[in-house]
Amino acid sequence: MTVDEQTSTPQHSFSDGGLKRLLIDGRLVDATSGRTFESLNPATGELLAHVSEGDATDIDLAVAAARRAFDDGRWSQMKPFDRQTILSRFADLVDERHDEIARLDTLDMGMPLTRTMGNRRRAVGMMRFYAGLTTALRGDTIENSIPGDYLTYTLKEPVGVVGAIIPWNNPHIAFIWKVGAALAAGCTVVLKPAEEASLTALLLGELLLEAGVPDGVVNVVPGVGEIAGAALASHLDVDKIAFTGSTSTGQAILRASAGNLKRVTLELGGKSPNIVFADADLDQAVPGAALAAFGNSGQVCSAGTRLFVERSIYEDFMHRVAEFAQGLNVGNGLSDGVQLGPVVSKTQLDRVVKYFDIGRDEGATVLVGGERLVAGELSKGYFVAPTIFTDVRDDMRVASEEIFGPVVSAIVFDDAEDLVRRANATSFGLGSGVWTQNVAKAHRFAKAIRAGSVWVNCYNLMDPAVPFGGYKMSGYGREGGLEQLDEFLETKAVWIKTS
């Protein structure tokens, strides 16, 4: 069965202020409670849609549908070629409909259209990568030393029903990143999008059905994190949670998962060091350092927010980064030429503005920014000036806590050896950057930094074939690469007496 035709048409608009409903077992349904919440445009405050608000009962229904779909093998037992064909068709649909998908994310969470549109290659490429992986699943045959004749081999099997919980900072990419890998492995999915940005998840859920993914294989249940998300994390019939979000929520999910010891992968926060040596190509490092911190208004878990700059270039370099920051065009992401949109919500705005006070109180200097932007049209939305703190010490809160806004803390350094210790003196370990033209130094730092990604003379590049994930409290498990596929598979050892 495809999407319930009585209640929806395939081309309905996702931003018309109408009701967007849960996708459970191939049908669009109201929340059992009848409750809805509002989805607002953070650039204008206008209403985009009412969204059905799933709770524990709806999560139960969705998990039951995903369980049936997993247990009867409608997806996991389908021949890899056929799953590949369906997932490739989905990739084609994402390609065809990408303008609409991108626009919807821009409306829903504010990221400028240039950036959401720029995600086309990545979104489609990821889906093609995952489609390819459906035919790449394999176990091993293993020589054993047991007396007698025994054949031993491993089978790779899908882990089962996956609960995917995603954030709002790059919604359609986050959806594909989790659902694509889970489907490639043969799992079924219940996905809970972030309450701030549920719309593309619902659209992509429909496109999966249109591509031919059987009913119940992917279910999308918007709702509040502490209610619907928590119900998914603690559900005894869910075999794995794949989560991206804040570190404190990751900890809550881990605790909630204990009931059935479900598998958990966590992609959490960061306070990533971005190190600029005096021997760097500064024409590249200036925009590189600025965009590493300010891109997507700083709402990137791997943002380079601790900017270490060598003393001999510090003054000049920071002056240039400040100039670059002031030249960034902040505005409604739908407008031409806008480079930075609003932050996602009033809550996020308040949080970022609070850190302006915290930084000042701690003795840091605001080089540029440090305020909400309210001129003209901007007053209706949640806009913040790209902000640079200088005179930052390692132990300040603005140098150690994740702010998740367009704020960078610049820290001066003299001694390259002690710098390794300082860069690693954080409970996080997600991203990092090194800017130098000295190849030996680049390799030395790439090895010494305790983080899941090190970008040298570049920042925040992502590719579906390259694993991404955290050390320490930035989480565990990897997304992207063959490593990610393994996160959705169990390994079974088979022993056969052959004589």
Q: How far apart are CA 442 and CA 78, in angstroms?
A: 46
The pair phi, psi for residue 280, each rounded to 5°, is -75, 160
Residue with tokens 């119940």: 216
Helix axes 282-294, 311-326, angle to 10 degrees: 60
Alpha helix stretches (DSSP H) within 432-471: 439-448
Burial class (CB in 10 A: 0-12, 13-18, 19+), 214: middle
Residue 102 CA: distances (Å) to CA of 270, 338, 372: 26, 15, 26
Q: Which is nearer to ligand ADP, 124 or 191 (CB)?
A: 191
Q: Which is nearer to ligand ADP, 167 or 288 (CB)?
A: 167
Which of 267, 402, 479, 487 is catalytic? The answer is 267
Residue 35 CA: distances (Å) to CA of 23, 32, 176, 220: 15, 8, 27, 16
Nearest to 91 by CA among 137, 133, 32: 133
Q: Please check whether residue 433 is in contact with residue 272, taking contact to mean a CB–CB distance below 8 angstroms.
A: yes
The pair phi, psi for residue 440, each rounded to 5°, is -65, -40
Q: Which is nearer to ligand ADP, 176 or 194 (CB)?
A: 194
Which of 187, 196, 206, 301 is catalytic? The answer is 301
Q: How far apart are CA 306 and CA 323, in angstroms?
A: 18
Q: Which is nearer to ligand ADP, 349 or 423 (CB)?
A: 349
CB of 265 to ligand ADP, least distance (A): 14
458 is catalytic: no
CB of 118 to ligand ADP, least distance (A): 22
267 is catalytic: yes
Collapse the DSSP code of 309 into the 3-class scheme (helix H, G, I; strand E, B; otherwise coil) and give the result.
strand
Task: Write a three-state SS string for 461-486.
Answer: CCCCCCCEECCHHHEECEECHHHHHH
List residues binding ligand ADP (CB under 6 A): 165-167, 192, 194-195, 225-226, 229-230, 233, 245-246, 249, 252-253
CB of 233 to ligand ADP, least distance (A): 5
Q: Which is nearer to ligand ADP, 175 or 277 (CB)?
A: 175
Q: Which is nearer to ligand ADP, 391 or 401 (CB)?
A: 401
CB of 225 to ligand ADP, least distance (A): 2
CB of 297 to ligand ADP, least distance (A): 13
Residue 455 CA: distances (Å) to CA of 319, 405, 428, 431, 479: 23, 21, 16, 8, 17
Q: Which is nearer to ligand ADP, 243 or 317 (CB)?
A: 243
Q: How far apart are CA 416 and CA 196, in angstroms?
A: 42
CB of 320 to ligand ADP, least distance (A): 31
CB of 357 to ligand ADP, least distance (A): 20
Question: Can you say how many angstroms the Cα of residue 115 is from the centroid of all Cα atoms in its chain?
Answer: 15
Q: Where is 284: in which H helix or E strand?
A: helix 282-294
Q: Give catalytic residue positions.
A: 267, 301
